[in-house]
């Protein structure tokens, strides 16, 4: 249960931060964000901000999304029953599409509507004076709201605030902003994990950390900060060399360590201890890598770890072309849940570090040039810049649907593969 909760929290944080990037730069670009949702499924809470965005919390804690004006169809259908609320200028300010009996407003049967350019709605309404149904046309206020069947109240999407009305470079920034936010989150999370875990690993030095007072190194007199300059006469310049030499002593025999402490050389004899703490049995003396604990190193770790993780992901992607495609190189929702469950038992620092790694993965995955993802949208933005005219919306919708179908199929296949690995 704990693993599920951790997975849902991590996933929601990553997606909400991602979507906030789209939201923020869409607002800066003059694009109306009709809804900013946290979670999926039925709405349980909504708040209407003065900037026109409806913020909602939905019942299923599975990420979130933003709805940009013009990205989805919002026109009314002929014959649809709605209730209209008029303002003091006799313009429509609310269109309630709910089918509930207690909906207030002027009952209206839609014949046709244009909530994009003309901002008007035509239909039949009962005239009390004439005692019959008459056809009327109402002008719709630019900032009018439409209430969906589940009660969510959203602004309509006039042409001037739609995504497709923005210039290509503004749309590109909006699409790139989501992955950018994930990269920014990764930098911050990696730095925070360094603070939480007591510093940054420094593999370039032969200084060591003595982490367990009950292990042979501590009992022999070694202290955290000691530099192991030689093991059984073999010189060591960094931690990897120290570990490599010690790993060759898997027979349990006593090793001689030459240690530099406070500028003086000392010699310690340590007999490795057998342990099964990491699966198969091994001999250990109880030392680990040295940690740099200065604030500068911990802050810079956010950038260096983000870079290293990014390079590793691109190397994995490159291996699909050089070494062949393999599902073992990809983790789906089930695989991520399994990793999250393990991290939940390893401390807050490890959990924050995992959040950073997943955030980078989400950023890079979204930047892949696949229709439906941010990378695919950016390609369309660049094509628009080259052609000097927007891609037809119907063509963009078709390409997006093809990409979405491909992604859904990939998620299903990867999920099945992850489940099979658990058994």
Confidence of residue 87 (pLDDT cuts 50, 70, 90): very high
Q: Looking at per-residue confidence, does 298 or 326 come out higher?
A: 298
pLDDT, residue 347, reads 76
| pLDDT tens profile 202-254 | 888 889 988 878 888 888 889 988 999 998 888 999 999 888 888 876 677 88
Q: Looking at per-residue confidence, does 397 or 143 come out higher?
A: 143
Task: Clarify whether residues 310 and 275 are in a common domain.
Answer: no
Residue 179 domain-assigned (yes or no): no
pLDDT, residue 363, reads 94
Residue 416 domain-assigned (yes or no): yes
Task: Clarify whether residues 222 and 256 are in a common domain.
Answer: yes
Domain that holds residue 380: 295-421
Residue 329 domain-assigned (yes or no): yes
Residue 367 domain-assigned (yes or no): yes
pLDDT, residue 65, reads 93
Q: What is the 3-state secondary structure (H, E, C) of 209-267?
A: EECCCCCHHHHHCCCCCCEEEEECCEECCCHHHHHHHHHCCCCCCCEEEEEEECCEEEE
* Active-site residue, selected from the candidate residues 19, 35, 384, 396: 19
Confidence of residue 154 (pLDDT cuts 50, 70, 90): very high
Task: Clarify whether residues 281 and 214 are in a common domain.
Answer: yes
Residue 188 domain-assigned (yes or no): no
Q: Which 3 state secondary structure label does DSSP give 59? A: strand
Residue 20: pLDDT above 90?
Answer: yes
Q: What is the CATH number of the domain that holds 213?
A: 2.30.42.10
Residue 180: pLDDT above 90?
Answer: yes
pLDDT, residue 138, reads 96
User: What is the number of domains present in the chain?
Assistant: 3
Task: Clarify whether residues 315 and 385 are in a common domain.
Answer: yes
Task: Clarify whether residues 230 and 282 are in a common domain.
Answer: yes
Task: Clarify whether residues 236 and 129 are in a common domain.
Answer: no
pLDDT, residue 86, reads 95
* DSSP, residue by residue, 381-415: HHHHHHHTSPPPHHHHHHHHHHHHHHHHHHHHHHH
Which residue in 68, 59, 54 sits closest to 22, CA to CA?
A: 68
The whole model's pTM is what? 0.81
Task: Clarify whether residues 143 and 236 are in a common domain.
Answer: no
Task: Clarify whether residues 310 and 392 are in a common domain.
Answer: yes
CB of 344 within 8 A of CB of 2? yes
Task: Clarify whether residues 307 and 412 are in a common domain.
Answer: yes
Identify the domain boundary among 111, 131, 161.
Answer: 161
Confidence of residue 420 (pLDDT cuts 50, 70, 90): low
| pLDDT tens profile 209-222 | 888 788 888 888 89
For residue 19, indicate whether it is catalytic. yes
Q: Looking at per-residue confidence, does 423 or 69 come out higher?
A: 69
What average pLDDT does this structure show over 300-316? 90
Q: Of all residues in the chain, what percent carry a pLDDT higher than 70?
A: 85
What average pLDDT does this structure show over 291-306? 90
pLDDT, residue 80, reads 93
């Amino acid at each position: 249960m704990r693993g599920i909760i951790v997975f849902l929290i991590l996933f929601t944080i990553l997606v909400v931060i991602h979507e906030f990037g789209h939201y923020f730069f869409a607002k800066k670009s003059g694009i109306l964000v009709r809804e900013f949702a946290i979670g999926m499924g039925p709405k349980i809470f909504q708040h209407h901000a003065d900037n026109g965005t409806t913020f909602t919390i939905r019942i299923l804690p599975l990420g979130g999304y933003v709805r940009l004006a013009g990205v989805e169809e919002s026109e009314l259908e002929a014959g649809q029953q709605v209730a209209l609320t008029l303002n003091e200028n006799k313009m429509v300010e609310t269109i309630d599409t709910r089918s509930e009996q207690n909906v207030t407003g002027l009952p209206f049967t839609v014949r046709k509507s244009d909530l994009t350019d003309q901002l008007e709605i035509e239909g039949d309404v009962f005239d009390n004076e004439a005692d019959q149904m008459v056809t009327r046309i109402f002008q719709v206020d630019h900032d009018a709201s439409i209430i969906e069947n589940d009660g969510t109240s959203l602004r309509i999407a006039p042409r001037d605030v739609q995504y497709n009305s923005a210039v290509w470079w503004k749309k590109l920034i909006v699409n790139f902003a989501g992955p950018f936010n994930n990269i920014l989150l990764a930098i911050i999370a990696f730095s925070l994990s360094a603070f939480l875990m007591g510093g940054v690993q420094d593999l370039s030095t032969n200084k060591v950390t003595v982490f367990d007072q009950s292990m042979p190194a501590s009992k022999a007199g070694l202290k955290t900060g000691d530099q192991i300059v030689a093991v059984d006469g073999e010189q060591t310049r960094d931690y990897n060399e120290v570990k490599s030499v010690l790993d060759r002593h898997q027979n349990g025999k006593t090793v001689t360590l030459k240690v530099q402490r406070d500028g003086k050389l000392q010699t310690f004899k340590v007999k490795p201890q057998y342990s099964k703490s990491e699966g198969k049995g091994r001999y250990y003396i109880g030392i680990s890598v040295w940690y740099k604990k200065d604030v500068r190193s911990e802050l810079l770790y956010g950038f260096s770890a983000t870079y290293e993780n990014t390079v590793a992901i691109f190397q994995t992607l490159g291996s699909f072309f050089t070494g062949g495609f393999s599902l073992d190189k990809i983790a789906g929702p089930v695989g991520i849940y399994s990793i999250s469950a393990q991290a939940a038992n390893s401390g807050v620092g490890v959990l924050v570090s995992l959040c950073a790694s997943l955030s980078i993965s989400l950023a890079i995955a979204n930047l892949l040039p696949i229709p439906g993802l941010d990378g695919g949208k950016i390609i369309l933005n660049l094509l628009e810049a080259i052609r000097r005219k927007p891609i037809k919306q119907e063509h963009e919708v078709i390409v997006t649907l093809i990409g979405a179908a491909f992604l859904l199929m990939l998620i299903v296949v990867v999920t099945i593969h992850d489940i099979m690995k658990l058994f």
